[in-house]
Structure 1
Amino acid sequence: MARTLLYLVRHGEQDGTRPTADGGLSSLGREQADRLGRRLAAVSFSQIHHSPLVRAAQTTDVLTHHLPQVPRHPCDFVADRTPVPSAARRDQYPDRWLSWLDGVPGEERDKDAAALQGAVQHFGVTSEVDRCELLVTHNFVIGWFVRHVLQTPVWRWIGLDSANCGLTIVTWESDQSPQVVAFNDTGHL
């Protein structure tokens, strides 16, 4: 029986004084990442996959001080995305969310969650050996993974908020359905 454990982490707090959408971490964000790194130091990760955005890369920089032997790389599968329904699937979302979704910037839009579904298909599989991987990503990506594992309606990712450097763990085992082990655990903060 092979098992895949995915540790999903939202990046540390972004520096609110920077005017760009891809700003780096605040001093609190670096402290959050350091506390998380101390918590994860004893976990045997095979890889760290991080979003290409600066705040996720900087979070990973801090984490790797505690995980120096773990290879890391930027990964488009965990890039910042917002699932938005196509015209044919708008009826799958409550009306109260549609105007907000219509306002999502073009570079963040993931039509019918195609990219996020690809991420789940890529990471949410078992292989011949056990895997334990760390994904440093964004709130909606984590929400999508949890929504998928819990098999809830497509729009339920919306209410699943993760704190900065909150820890979510999901698992896939070859002989059973995937499970949420922990959601938004902030005990280290």
Structure 2
Amino acid sequence: MARTLLYLVRHGEQDPAADHDPDGGLSPLGREQADRLGKRLSTVPFDVVHHSPSARAAETAEIVGGHLPLVPRHGCDLVVDRTPVPSPERLGVYPQRWHAWFDGVPADERDEDAVALRAAVDGLGVTGERDRHELLITHNFVIGWFVRHVLDAPEWRWLGLNQANCGITVVQWDSERPPALVSFNDVGHL
């Protein structure tokens, strides 16, 4: 029975001067969070580290990678900062109170009907012939989508799942069982 454990981590705190600029790096606190995260995860037998190409995620991965020197890491388009927004015909699936909020989602983060996030789950949430441990350094809504998926929650339920910077969420795929949430937003190392 093979299983896949995905460790989903939100990047460290972004430098406030960057004001959500995807090219903005980490604050001093964000670098400290990433270092503590790396120490916490240093004994996990990771196969690979996937990280969002954003500067804050790449910098987090670089710091964490210092504690995982033999684990390959790479920028991964599957874990890019995305916001799953409903298409006009699917808007009714979401609670009315969120409809106006979707209008403010930046164009470069919009993932209509979660097409890209569904592909991320399909591509990463699989089992093979052997156990896998993979670290994904990504963004809040991406993690929320994975959690929503493994809990088989309504499509809109990613909303309101807030992941702390460098908090650890673990989801598991098992060849003989449905996917499961192992832990959510563990911040004991911070």
Letter in 2 for 1:18: A
Find the counterpart in structure 2 of residue 91 from structure 1.
Answer: 92
Matched to 1:95, the amino acid is Q
User: For the residues of structure 2 that align with 1:44 and 1:121, how far apart are their CA atoms?
Assistant: 23
Higher mean C-alpha deviation, range 10-19 or range 57-66: 10-19
For the Cα contact (< 8 Å) 2:14–2:20, is it kept in 1? Answer: no
Q: TM-score, normalised by structure 1?
A: 0.99
> How high is the sequence identity, in percent, across the aligned residues?
65
The residue that corresponds to 2:11 in the other structure is 11
- For residue 18 of structure 1, report the CA deviation from its aligned partner: 2.6
Map 1:1-189 to 2 at 5 A: 1-19=1-19, 21-22=21-22, 23-189=24-190
Count of residue pairs brought into register by the alignment: 189
User: Letter of the aligned partner of 1:9 in structure 2?
Assistant: V
Residue 19 of structure 1 deviates from its aligned partner by: 4.6
Give the root-mean-square deviation of aligned CA atoms.
0.7
Letter of the 2:173 partner, please give it: W
SS at match of 1:24: coil
Q: Can you list the C-alpha shifts for 1:144-177, whole angstroms capped at 9, x where unaligned?
A: 0000000011110011100000000000000001
Give the secondary structure class of the aligned counterpart of 1:132.
Answer: strand
Separation (CA, whole Å) in 1 of partners of 2:88 and 2:17: 37
Q: Write out per-residue CA displacement over residues 51-110 of structure 1, whole angstroms, 9 at most, x where no aligned residue.
A: 000000000010011000000000000000000000110010000001001210100000
Q: Which runs of 5+ in 1 are unaligned?
A: none
Structure 1 runs (4+) greater than 6 angstroms displaced = none
In structure 1, C-alpha distance between the alignment counterparts of 2:181 and 2:153, rounded to whole Å = 13
Partners in 1 of 2:3 and 2:152 — Cα distance?
19
**Could you tell me how far apart the structure 1 residues matched to 2:132 and 2:120 are?**
16
CA distance in 2, matches of 1:18, 1:138: 16
Secondary structure of the equivalent of 1:159?
A: coil
Structure-2-length-normalised TM-score: 0.98
Measure the CA separation in 2 of the matches of 1:153 and 1:79.
22
SS of 2:159's partner is helix
